[in-house]
Structure 1
Amino acid sequence: MGTTPQSTGAVRESVTLSTGEEVSVPLSTEATVFGAMFSANRAAVAELLPDGLEPIRATPQRAAVTFLAVEYHRIGDHAMAPYDEFSVMLPAVESGERSWPFASLLRNGASGYVWYLPVTTESAKALGVDIWGYPKAVAEITHDDHVAGRRTTVTADGEEVITLDVEGTPKVDRTQESVSYTVKDGQLLREPLTLSGKLGAWPYSGQVDVSLGSHPRADRLRELDLGSRALARLSFEGEFVIGAGERVGSV
């Protein structure tokens, strides 16, 4: 592990993964994303969060769950082959931070704890696990682009986990900063995220369909009592940068 300077003069950390690839952090990637956010039972979401985090109040009584179907086109300086990913994220705030219905959804909806993160290659799994502690697992992910958007199906251990069909949204050029949370070696980490490119969001949308399969992860998602109508559908195309994990507190 060493350091290399960026063209901007900042310093990046070079990391050799357990699979042999070498990447630099902050890590720059190019990706296409389709996603949707649903309301969920607040107590059930809280049970899935590590100590140090609390679910946002999407509504006075409900929390939220975000699904993101991601197709990576470039990883760093082409450090590894492109791969696909599906994120199940629980929008959250750090303990002690106030969470307000609706307002917290707008402010913190793009930030949260990554609860499940299937990917399509062993290198992709090592990238997330070795550096940040993301809960990555190798699975089969298929994207079916259609005239309105994208349908994504995740299959793990021979069982369907989830299928998400999202209609695309109007997009504008924008830079969005947020954070993700993970637990690595018993430590809660906060990772700064920056999305720069064409970004779109559409509130309270019916142009989303989600179905859960027979996998145990799907059973756990059913326990969250997802809302029947999406709070928002999301789309993005551009550069996605993730920084080094920062310590938040012990768990």
Structure 2
Amino acid sequence: MPDQRRATHTLSTGQEVVVPLETEAEATAVVVTADAGAAAEWLPDSLAPVRLAPGRTAVTFLSVDYRRIGDDAMAPYEEFGVLLAATPAGGPIPELGALRRGLAGPPGGLGDYVAALPVTTEPARALGAEIWGYPKSVADVRITDRGDRRRTAVRDERGHLLTLDAPWNPRFEAAVETTSYTDGDGRGAGAHGGAPARRQPLELSGRFGGRPFGGAYTLGHHPLAERLRDLELGRPLGALAFDGRFTIGGGRRVDP
């Protein structure tokens, strides 16, 4: 990750955190296909869905167990994310433009728009919403291991959102730089009203694992689950696992 000026933020819950923020975490993810036209309606105007095939894009269901946040700035917590593959919308084929920008300089093209991000504590919600504009909410995110599988169940007062099942197989050392996108106001998918998106640089360093066409998910009866059904989700393209250090930098406005 490029060098960034360190900044200290005091959250409404009283915790102080330093950005770029370094954490230690375990994570699993399952990537599925989705209708690109429907996904585009979730994105800010300055972003476009990444097309994997004619009319299809990708949605990632992400489960994270944070073991350390900064210099123990707050208690560990669990998190679940709904991420839409996205890139700045400029150009007739935006993902090719993003690839060109990525080859010419630091990462900042292809990435994931964070549509929803339930977490298990109020300080965790304040951390993401107040610094980066992540659409965080407090929910029950339960992560359990079953042999070489990891299961995540997510629910809140509105009902059961989703159950995620993924291989737990982090074995290979690697470092990856990528990008997340937000609306910058913490409202999430479909609530942006044309506001410019913001990008956050991410770096993951540790052990990774993967399995093509691995993982499974089951949607529950929850308002967000009903919206996800409208995306015409397909079967899993693959599952990922990660165990290591996750660092997030400060956000910047997206210029399409």
> How much does 1:148 deviate?
2.2
> How much does 1:59 deviate?
1.8
The letter for the 2-side match of 1:47 is: E
1:224 aligns with 2:231: yes
> How much does 1:47 deviate?
0.6
SS of equivalent to 2:95:
coil
Residues 91 and 108, structure 1, Cα contact 8 Å, conserved in 2: no
Unaligned runs of 5+ in 1: 1-8
Specify which structure has the higher proportion of strand. Answer: 1
Q: What are the residue-to-residue correspondences of 1:183-194 with 2, within 5 Å?
A: 183-185=183-185, 186-194=195-203
Residues 109 and 179, structure 2, Cα contact 8 Å, conserved in 1: no
1:40 aligns with 2:34: yes
Residues 63 and 81, structure 2, Cα contact 8 Å, conserved in 1: yes
Q: Separation in 2 of the partners of 1:111 and 1:10? A: 20
Q: Separation in 1 of the partners of 2:234 and 2:148? A: 22
The letter for the 2-side match of 1:175 is: A
Residues 24 and 66, structure 2, Cα contact 8 Å, conserved in 1: yes
Summarize the Cα distance change of 1:38–1:83 in structure 2 as closer, same or farther, 3 Å threshold.
Answer: same
SS of equivalent to 1:184:
coil
SS of equivalent to 2:254:
strand
The number of residues matched between the two structures is 235
The letter for the 2-side match of 1:127 is: L
Unaligned runs of 5+ in 2: 101-106, 186-194
> How much does 1:60 deviate?
2.5
Tell me the TM-score normalised to structure 1 length.
Answer: 0.88
> How much does 1:237 deviate?
0.3
Q: What are the residue-to-residue correspondences of 1:135-150 with 2, within 5 Å?
A: 135-150=135-150
Q: Separation in 2 of the partners of 1:10 and 1:180? A: 17
Q: What are the residue-to-residue correspondences of 1:13-32 with 2, within 5 Å?
A: 13-32=7-26
The residue aligned with 2:244 is 238
The residue aligned with 2:218 is 211
Write out per-residue CA displacement over residues 125-173 of structure 1, whole angstroms, 9 at most, x where no aligned residue: 0000000000000000111201121010000114100100112345310
Write out per-residue CA displacement over residues 15-69 of structure 1, whole angstroms, 9 at most, x where no aligned residue: 0001100000000000000111000011111110111000001223211100110
- Tell which has more relative contact order, 1 or 2 (C-alpha 8 A, sep 6+): 2
1:99 aligns with 2:95: yes
> How much does 1:249 deviate?
4.2
> How much does 1:208 deviate?
1.5
The residue aligned with 2:52 is 58
Write out per-residue CA displacement over residues 205-232 of structure 1, whole angstroms, 9 at most, x where no aligned residue: 1x3221111110000001111112x112
1:201 aligns with 2:206: no
The letter for the 1-side match of 2:114 is: V
The residue aligned with 1:119 is 119
SS of equivalent to 2:118:
strand
The letter for the 2-side match of 1:44 is: A
> How much does 1:201 deviate?
2.6
Tell me the TM-score normalised to structure 2 length.
Answer: 0.86
Summarize the Cα distance change of 1:134–1:126 in structure 2 as closer, same or farther, 3 Å threshold.
Answer: same
SS of equivalent to 1:225:
coil
Residues 4 and 249, structure 2, Cα contact 8 Å, conserved in 1: no
Q: Separation in 2 of the partners of 1:176 and 1:201? A: 14
The residue aligned with 1:173 is 173
Q: CA RMSD in A?
A: 2.2
Summarize the Cα distance change of 1:154–1:175 in structure 2 as closer, same or farther, 3 Å threshold.
Answer: same
